[in-house]
Amino acid sequence: MATVLHVTVPGMVGAGIAVVLLILAGGWVGSRLGRRPLRQRLSAISSRLGSDSSMTEPRSLEVSLVQVERATDLAAEAVAEASSEAIRLRKTLDSLPQAVVIRDERGDTVFSNTRATALMSGRHGDALAAQAVEELLASTGVGASEERTLELYGPPRRTLSVRTQSIDNGSRTLGVIAVIEDVSDRRRLEEVRRDFVANVSHELKTPMGALGLLAETLLSETEPQVAQRLAQRIHTEAFRISRVIDDLLDLSRIENEVTPPREPVLVNLVMAEAAERVRAAADQQKVEVVLDEPDPPIAVLGDRRQLTSAVYNLLENAAKFSYEGGQVVVRGGVEGEDAVIQVIDHGTGIPARDLERIFERFYRVDQGRARSSSGTGLGLAIVRHVAANHRGSIHVESREGEGSTFTLRLPLQPRSD
């Protein structure tokens, strides 16, 4: 009577089990030659697949086959798990903001993530970066690490940090890994910080030095009229220091309030309040401030204090650089979905070469004129940050000697249906 074996073969066993079944078929036909060698062969296959193949007691052919099947299942699971881990690792490295390249001990690239692939196959500036990476990978010795900073002048200008590290398992070298990071933003931030500290120091050092000299002179002055003039100068310099500090505090507060409170604010009220605040300084310079409010009134969502500060700084800047007897107009209106506030003057204007930089902190178009008018160089920087905080924009049109027009655009308050 023929014996029939019912064997369940998982889908992942594949060609390995097919080979085993062929061996079994041949062994079954030649069973008169003895089954012990076949069981030993099955045990050897099982051992290679990682199963316990000790044959301390006789086993039937079916038991041996079950053992091989179990071992094959375990091996297939291990392969599937290793493949899953490899995919997970690749996806993780592809999501990194850095470019990663890995080479084996022979110098062959075994892995590069998406950013590295784009970098190594790029042109122009990227080609220089790729060449530097190649050189560092080739020069990194056993157990060593190297680092290099690359300046790519673009455009746009970029700064790359390239680091390589030898990889080993404690007994032999496995290869080298390179990590390429774009540190351009970090470098620019460091430059801004350095410039900011230098500018603040300079802005405070000048009036502080003047205060010291004036106070020293006042101590030895016996003429009442001269002493009064010295005291007035001391008051002026003290006020200048106070303005710098106040503007710094305002700028710091506005920068920290990236998402200011969103409440309805009447543009007419903001314009009127800013014009009233600047009127005394404008009268002192014999400049007329003309208020042209929108009719009907319009509103935006935002922070009233920030918006008033922005319009005030635009008005103060316009009055400061207007000619004596001149006029500054602040006009409101609607264009599309935006509220528009324009500050127009007919003063000294801004040279074309300076238009892109006037919103930087402490930047001055005319150093001598700005100092004589007690400017801090922070007003337009405050305007830029207020516009950004309210999802708006600030634009300037100017011609030297003819005047300037600053346009502040802010999204209108949505209508409630």
pLDDT digits (tens, 9 = 90+) for 195-252: 777 777 776 777 788 888 888 888 888 888 888 888 888 888 887 788 778 777 877 7
The predicted pLDDT at position 242 comes to 80
The predicted pLDDT at position 396 comes to 92
Q: Do 244 and 275 fall within a single domain?
A: no
| Residue whose C-alpha is closest to residue 265's, from 293, 305, 292 | 305
Q: Do 356 and 227 fall within a single domain?
A: no
Domain-located, residue 50 = yes
Q: Do 350 and 271 fall within a single domain?
A: yes
Tally the C-alpha atoms within 13 A of residue 78's C-alpha that lie toward its C-beta: 9
Residue 389 or 27, more confident: 389
Quick one: average pLDDT of 68-82? 72
The CATH number of whichever domain residue 100 belongs to comes to 3.30.450.20
Answer with the one of 234, 256, 278 that is the final residue of a domain. Answer: 256
Domain-located, residue 3 = no
Domain-located, residue 145 = yes
Contact (Cβ atoms closer than 8 angstroms) between residue 51 and residue 70 = yes
Q: Do 317 and 169 fall within a single domain?
A: no
Q: Do 280 and 413 fall within a single domain?
A: yes
Answer with the one of 256, 287, 307 that is the final residue of a domain. Answer: 256
* 206 Cβ contact partners less than 8 Å away, ≥ 6 residues apart: none
Residue 206 to residue 198: CA distance in whole angstroms: 12
The predicted pLDDT at position 308 comes to 92
Domain-located, residue 4 = no
Q: Do 277 and 392 fall within a single domain?
A: yes
- The residue whose two tokens read 């101590």 is 219
Domain-located, residue 284 = yes
Question: Two tokens at 287?
Answer: 């400049």
The predicted pLDDT at position 407 comes to 95
pLDDT band at 105 (very low <50, low <70, confident <90, very high): confident
Domain-located, residue 39 = yes
Domain-located, residue 83 = yes
* 120 Cβ contact partners less than 8 Å away, ≥ 6 residues apart: 101, 112, 126, 130, 133
Residue 31 has pLDDT above 50, yes or no: no
Residue 127 has pLDDT above 80, yes or no: no
> 40: left (phi > 0), else alpha (psi -120 to 50), else beta?
alpha
pLDDT digits (tens, 9 = 90+) for 289-298: 999 999 899 9
Q: Do 156 and 42 fall within a single domain?
A: no
Domain count for the chain, please give it. 4
The predicted pLDDT at position 27 comes to 45
Residue 300 to residue 303: CA distance in whole angstroms: 9
Q: Do 264 and 412 fall within a single domain?
A: yes
pLDDT band at 49 (very low <50, low <70, confident <90, very high): low
Tally the C-alpha atoms within 13 A of residue 221's C-alpha that lie toward its C-beta: 15
Q: Do 161 and 216 fall within a single domain?
A: no
Q: Do 45 and 115 fall within a single domain?
A: no
Domain-located, residue 2 = no
pLDDT band at 135 (very low <50, low <70, confident <90, very high): confident
How far is the first Cα of the chain from the last one, in angstroms, to the nearest whole number?
Answer: 89
pLDDT digits (tens, 9 = 90+) for 338-377: 999 999 999 888 888 888 778 877 776 654 444 445 556 7
The predicted pLDDT at position 28 comes to 42
* 169 Cβ contact partners less than 8 Å away, ≥ 6 residues apart: none
pLDDT band at 44 (very low <50, low <70, confident <90, very high): low
- The residue whose two tokens read 């500050």 is 343
The predicted pLDDT at position 72 comes to 75
Rank 68-72, 218-222, 402-406 by mean pLDDT and report only the highest: 402-406
Rank 63-67, 157-161, 275-279 by mean pLDDT and report only the highest: 275-279
Residue 333 to residue 136: CA distance in whole angstroms: 60
Q: Do 237 and 252 fall within a single domain?
A: yes
Domain that holds residue 46: 15-91
Residue 29 has pLDDT above 70, yes or no: no
The CATH number of whichever domain residue 228 belongs to comes to 1.10.287.130
Answer with the one of 227, 256, 285 that is the final residue of a domain. Answer: 256
Residue 27 or 47, more confident: 47
Residue 121 to residue 130: CA distance in whole angstroms: 8
Tell me the three-class secondary structure of the chain, residue by residue. Answer: CCCCCCCCCCCCCCHHHHHHHHHHHHHHHCHHHCCHHHHHHHHHHHHHCCCCCCCCCCCCHHHHHHHHHHHHHHHHHHHHHHHHHHHHHHHHHHCCCCEEEEEECCCCEEEECHHHHHHHCCCCHHHHHHHHHHHHHHHCCCCCEEEEEEEECCCCCEEEEEEEEEEECCCCEEEEEEEEEECHHHHHHHHHHHHHHHHHHHHHHHHHHHHHHHHHHHHCCCCHHHHHHHHHHHHHHHHHHHHHHHHHHHHHHHHHCCCCCCEEEEHHHHHHHHHHHHHHHHHHCCCEEEEECCCCCCEEEECHHHHHHHHHHHHHHHHHCCCCCCEEEEEEEEECCEEEEEEEECCCCCCHHHCCCCCCCCCCCCHHHHHHCCCCCCHHHHHHHHHHHCCCEEEEEEECCCEEEEEEEEEECCCCC
The predicted pLDDT at position 375 comes to 58
| Single-letter residue type at 381 | A
Q: Do 212 and 274 fall within a single domain?
A: no
Quick one: average pLDDT of 92-120? 81
